[in-house]
């Protein structure tokens, strides 16, 4: 009877409060396949890429973290690390807190997950759509072609693997999490500019398409980037919903876990 109630609770509203819901974050949508099979490789990949990026960075090391690309890479590393922690700990046997019924490390993982995936898509789209296009003409930004692809292409691919393979939900109501992260980076670029910060080549900006000496153009780019990021979050929710629908159909289970995009 308890198992039936657990399944019906998921069917009625997706993830709900309680210890049982924590199990989803350490599970795969593919049945008994452990998330460790992709989260450990993603963590190792991110650590190797961070190490190589720092080693081959074209400027002084203290300027490594002025780029959104590297912020996103650190996000992937933290997201995969907490994903591993969530997987290996028996969260269903631990006492929940009084907020959302989830342990703090599960909530931390979910927050990082909600931010890392759409931000990775934004980084790839922003880079190839603006910086490396005829608009940005930023050929000097990627002196190493292998790292170039790793930072601005494979980053999205590994996060897509996380999205397609995980069992826990994505919520439309969480759209503010990636937007607030992007807002924090935007504020950083403003402070960096007015503090006299330069890029590694001595330019008074971090990205040429976001030059605060041209505030109107920069605000337009920032607004469009924010809209694109919001769209990417919606796409993530749509993919998660489709993922769960396909899994239910393959398992011929109409009462199982599914992604309720509007649930908190």
Six token digits for residue 132: 């490396």
Higher-confidence residue of 188 and 145: namely 188
- Averaged pLDDT for residues 50-70: 90
- Averaged pLDDT for residues 63-92: 91
Give domain limits for the chain.
Answer: 12-251
Highest averaged pLDDT of the listed ranges 2-11, 13-22, 60-69, 177-186: 177-186
Band (78; pLDDT cuts 50, 70, 90): very high
Cβ atoms of 101 and 18 closer than 8 Å = yes
pLDDT of residue 201: 86
Band (131; pLDDT cuts 50, 70, 90): confident
Please give the backbone phi and psi of residue 32, each rounded to the nearest 5 degrees, phi first: -90, 5
Percent of the chain with pLDDT over 90: 61
Higher-confidence residue of 142 and 24: namely 24
- Which segment of 72-76, 100-104, 177-181 scores lowest on mean pLDDT? 100-104
Q: How far is CA 56 from the centre of its chain?
A: 24
What is the Cα–Cα distance from 241 to 73, expressed in whole angstroms?
26
- Encode pLDDT of 178-216 as tens digits: 999 999 999 999 999 999 999 988 889 998 889 999 999
pLDDT of residue 142: 57
Higher-confidence residue of 132 and 239: namely 239
pLDDT of residue 90: 61
What is the Cα–Cα distance from 97 to 104, expressed in whole angstroms?
8
- Which segment of 2-6, 55-59, 203-207 scores lowest on mean pLDDT? 2-6
Cβ atoms of 257 and 10 closer than 8 Å = yes
pLDDT at 95 over 70: no
pLDDT at 96 over 50: no
pLDDT of residue 15: 38
First to last CA, the chain: 26
Higher-confidence residue of 54 and 257: namely 54
Band (9; pLDDT cuts 50, 70, 90): very low
Average pLDDT, the chain: 84
CA atoms within 13 A on the CB side of 228: 18
């Amino acid at each position: 009877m308890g198992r039936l109630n657990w399944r019906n609770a998921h069917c009625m509203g997706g993830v709900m409060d309680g210890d049982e819901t924590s199990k989803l974050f350490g599970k795969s949508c593919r049945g008994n396949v452990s998330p460790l099979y992709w989260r450990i490789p993603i963590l190792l990949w991110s650590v190797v890429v961070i190490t190589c990026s720092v080693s081959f960075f074209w400027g002084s090391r203290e300027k490594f973290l002025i780029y959104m690309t590297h912020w996103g890479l650190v996000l992937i590393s933290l997201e995969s690390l907490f994903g591993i922690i969530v997987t290996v700990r028996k969260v269903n046997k631990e006492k929940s807190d009084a907020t959302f019924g989830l342990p703090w490390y599960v909530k931390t993982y979910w927050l990082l997950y909600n931010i890392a995936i759409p931000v990775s898509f934004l980084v790839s789209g922003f880079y190839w759509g603006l910086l490396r296009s005829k608009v940005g003409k930023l050929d000097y930004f990627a002196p190493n072609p292998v790292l170039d692809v790793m930072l601005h292409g494979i980053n999205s691919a590994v996060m897509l693997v996380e999205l397609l393979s995980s069992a826990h939900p994505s919520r439309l109501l969480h759209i503010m999490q990636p937007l607030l992260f992007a807002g924090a980076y935007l504020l950083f670029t403003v402070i960096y500019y007015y503090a006299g910060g330069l890029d590694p080549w001595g330019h008074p900006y971090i990205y040429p398409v976001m030059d605060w000496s041209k505030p109107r153009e920069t605000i337009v780019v920032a607004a469009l980037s924010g809209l694109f990021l919001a769209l990417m979050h919606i796409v993530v929710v749509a993919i998660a919903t489709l993922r769960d629908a396909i899994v239910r159909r393959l398992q011929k289970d109409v009462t199982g876990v599914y992604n309720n995009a509007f649930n908190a």
